[in-house]
Chains A and B, each alone.
Chain A
Amino acid sequence: MNSNLAQNIECLETDGAPLIVNMGPSHPAFHGALRTQVYLDGETIVKAKSEIGYLHRCFEKHSENSCYQNVIPYTDRLNYVSSLMNNVGYCKAVEDLMGVVVPDRAIIVRVLICELSRVIDHLVCVGTNLVDLGALTNFWYTFNVREKVYDFIEKISGARLTYSYTRIGGLSRDLYSGYEKDLKILISEMRQAIRDVKGLVLKNRIFLDRTRDVCVVSKKQALDWGFTGPCLRASGVPFDLRKAEPYYYYETFDFDIPVGEVGDTYDRIMVRFEEMDQSLHIMEQCIARMPKGPIMTDDKRVRLPAKQEVYTNIEALMNHFKIVMHGIKPPKGEIYSRTEVANGELGFYLISDGSMNPYRLKVRPPCFYMFAAFEHMIKGYMIADAVATLGSLNVVVGESDR
């Protein structure tokens, strides 16, 4: 706590006017370890101060001391709700820096898993947001199907939460044969879950009263505060990196970007609902156009040679030795690579000095900017509104604190 804040508290305490309460770091509605100190007049928030850092794990410093492949498991812990997208984002940054060409099949699988994790991320966000509003039942409707998605991802990656599925230059393993059948069932189940939850909330007067015109973020404010993703689109700015700056053949997929009108909590929730439908549509297209071929690039700088080659060929043996012992060495340079994850723009700013470790890896998490704006957004609203809004912003602390 800085001295300024302490002074404020002192004068407020002596005035006896507002009631100061800490929301978080352990509060049922503040998922993760967030903290906002709110000054209450009755139940209205007159002032708020946010604080982060309760889940700081030195991700960036860790990365500077690990070789490029070893950073991939760390990225799982950024946004642990949809880790696959972080894997993809980081690998894309390194590949762009090195100019590695990823084969088509790997790209389409990456799109597929990205959209899958976008859906489960939104499911968690919507489910927990509705729990914050008091509608507890929706939580199970969203989490039941999320559990099934975990089963599917476990089948393709071997893990349920921290997948580390991608590799620099491709994927760790191919999809299993017959995955289409499982995935199609899964898609219909997800559709059903979304329909169930929509059925419970869309025409619910209490839900509409609680969310409409609550914590409105105008277009200008959203842009000023650096919002990206669903929260920016809810404010009416049709900005989506998948359309604005297409990567991974996103320009060839058929999907729409839902845009809200007002920028209130209702729009943020509805944009997420609509995005889930769009993502499911993209996943169906992925299944339809899944190309055959390798899942790993044949670029010798990043790819381990085949075992047969290693045992029989001195070139391959040396290549293998260099990658395992000295790691991947991108050329000197720097790159800012960004992808559209569930919460918005996830950027990796990577500086390489030509050694086996990144010189600097800076993450631009989408949540950080939204939580920074949170204290301004809730001013003048009530505690219940603050709780509803934080849920709709979907701040994942693992990502914003790193």
Chain B
Amino acid sequence: MENFITNMIAQCSWLQSLPKWVVVFGFQIFFSVLILFAFVAIFAMLAGYVERRVAGRIQSRIGPNRVGPQGILQSLADGIKVFLKEDVVPTAADPILFRIAPYFVFVGMFLAFVAIPFSAQWVISDFNLGIFYLLACEALVVIGIVMSGWASNNKWSLIGGMRSAAQIVSYEVPVSLTILMIVLWCGTMDIQQIILSQGPMPWHWHVFQNPFLFIGFFIFFIGSLAEGNRMPFDMPEAESELVSGYNTEYSGFRFIIFFFAEFANLYLIGAIVTILFLGGWQAGVLPEFFVSIFGAENPWIVALIKNFTQLFVFQAKALVLVFVIIQLRWTLPRVRVDQLMALCWKYLVPISFVNLLAISFWVVFVPEIGTKITAGVMTTFGAIIFIYFFYRVYWQLKFSKAKIRMNPFS
């Protein structure tokens, strides 16, 4: 990188007129954004495709299978189509706010990616307030959504925007409290440190450290779904109630930016849950193993292989969660607005508070060995729940006979 920039400066005369740190800084930002943007764009496209394909399977139909092999380019085709559409701004809309709202949504999502560590070294910016920064970025999204709802000058959009504001602000509380638990547990807000305080195996993960973190995992997952406006909490979009919510009036490129942000957010949920609870990119002996398999000597190659392995481990965990989220979307009905709020304020917030208190006591009073024992117990417990869940699903599918609240009249 250093050599490359020096060369560039030597080649281009106009770069020589600038101070060197500006050029270096500029190049770093440029390449970071380029890589991130490529990643987000490709992921959003693939996620859109996978979502439709999985939905198709769940709904006993095929899904997109025409554009490219198995329809994998469908998102690209849709993107081009939407790109060519006219960018309509309704006459009665607030033109400036209407135009800039999608960017707020997108920037909020995109900025969060800066702090996501994909491996031990591959992170755009690793700073000591990382997790706090993530929360701040998430909150930026709500401004964009409310802005678009208001600026559209459409009552349905406005209701959608308002719902979204209420929802995201409310669910920020349990989510933040749960993050606070992790911060207490690790004693740091640095994302890399949080990951390093876990380990590669399930009994090293935060989720199985003690019962409170186990509960916290589910609170965080539910809260993230609600913050990201995903089913069953997609109140702001609720197409059967609010037509399509805050993005009703949008078309063309601005519309696709909303979609982009939605799918980027889908990944973010998976990534953040993985970082906080499921050990992040920790791959244990796998990187060394691959290095020995390839017999790499060159330190560059060794680093590359290690980072790639960690990246794959991280992506695998995050994508499993993404898959779960997609399945939830196509399985569950939508909750009602007041039920959504009741879930947050009557259940999740009190439970998070109790959790936070409990974890504080745990950190202070329970010795190291106690944590190890609970980690073992909780992992077994988690495994049993996992197996029981699949058994239940299987049993439900095969043998369940539902009871009906009914008096057959004869």
Contacts and interface: CB of A to CB of B under 8 A. Distances in A.
Contact of A134 (B61, B163, B333): B333
Contacts of A267: 405-406
Contact of A209 (B59, B339, B403, B410): B339
A181 interface: no
Contacts of B156: 21
B333 A43 contact: no
Nearest to B337: A43
Interface in A348-402: 382-385, 387
Given A256-B409, A259-B409, A384-B337, A202 B402 contact: yes
Given A43-B337, A133-B333, A210-B333, A257 B241 contact: no
Nearest to B336: A384
A199 B61 contact: no
A273 interface: yes
Contacts of A273: 404
A45 B330 CA distance: 29
B396 interface: yes
A384 B337 CA distance: 8
A283 to B, nearest CB: 18
A282 interface: no
Contacts, number: 123
Interface string B45-56: 000000000010
B338 interface: yes
Interface stretch (A136-144, A245-253, A308-316, A335-343): A136-144
Contact of B404 (A133, A137, A274): A274
B240 interface: yes
A259 B407 contact: yes
A106 B402 CA distance: 37
Interface in B33-58: 55, 58
B331 A274 contact: no
Interface string A110-145: 000000000000000000001111111101110010
B336 A141 contact: no
A137 B339 CA distance: 22
A31 B216 CA distance: 42
For B156, B231, B241, B406, the residue with the greatest tally of chain A CB atoms inside 10 Å of its CB is B241
Nearest to B400: A199
Contacts of B201: none
B232 interface: yes
B406 A270 contact: yes
For A20, A136, A385, the residue with the greatest tally of chain B CB atoms inside 10 Å of its CB is A136
Interface in A183-214: 198-204, 206-207, 209-210
Contacts of A134: 231-232, 234, 238, 240, 332-334
Contacts of A40: 159
A20 to B, nearest CB: 8
A159 interface: no
Interface residues on B, range: 35 or more
Nearest to B163: A43
A132 B397 CA distance: 24
A260 interface: yes
A347 interface: no
B120 interface: no
Given A21-B156, A134-B240, A384-B241, A140 B59 contact: yes
A144 B408 CA distance: 28
Given A28-B243, A134-B333, A206-B334, A384 B406 contact: no
Contacts of B337: 43, 382, 384
B225 to A, nearest CB: 13
B265 to A, nearest CB: 19
B81 interface: no
Nearest to A385: B336
Contact of B336 (A131, A199, A270, A382): A382
B20 interface: no
A73 interface: no
A45 to B, nearest CB: 12
Contacts of B242: 383
For B159, B336, B408, B410, the residue with the greatest tally of chain A CB atoms inside 10 Å of its CB is B336
A238 B409 CA distance: 7
A137 B240 contact: no
B335 interface: yes
Nearest to B396: A199
A383 B334 contact: no
B60 A141 contact: yes
Contacts of B410: 256-257
B363 to A, nearest CB: 34
B239 interface: yes
Contacts of B55: 137
B333 A130 contact: yes
B155 interface: yes
B335 A259 contact: no
A12 interface: no
Contacts of B332: 134-135, 204, 206
Interface string B324-358: 00000011111111110000000000000000000
A261 B403 CA distance: 15
Nearest to B403: A202
Contacts of B338: 43, 382
Nearest to A259: B409
Interface string A256-273: 111111000011001101
A202 B404 contact: yes
A210 B335 contact: yes
A230 B240 CA distance: 24
A210 B231 CA distance: 15
B406 A260 contact: yes
Contacts of A19: 155, 159
Nearest to A212: B405
A199 B402 contact: yes
A43 B235 CA distance: 12
Contacts of B163: 43
A274 B410 CA distance: 13
A259 B241 contact: no
B246 to A, nearest CB: 15
A140 B55 CA distance: 11
B241 A137 contact: no
A29 interface: yes
A173 interface: no
Contacts of B155: 19-21
Given A27-B243, A28-B240, A43-B159, A136 B408 contact: no
A203 B396 CA distance: 10
A383 B241 contact: yes
A384 B404 contact: no
A384 B335 CA distance: 9
Interface string B229-258: 001101000111111000000000000000
- In the A-B complex, the 7 residue pairs with the smallest Cβ-Cβ separation, listed nearest first, are A134-B334, A202-B402, A135-B333, A140-B59, A238-B409, A133-B333, A256-B408
Given A257-B408, A385-B336, 7 more contacts: A19-B159, A29-B240, A134-B232, A206-B335, A256-B410, A382-B336, A384-B334
18 contacts: A40-B159, A43-B338, A132-B241, A134-B231, A134-B240, A136-B59, A137-B331, A140-B59, A140-B61, A198-B402, A199-B396, A203-B402, A204-B332, A206-B334, A206-B335, A258-B409, A267-B405, A270-B404
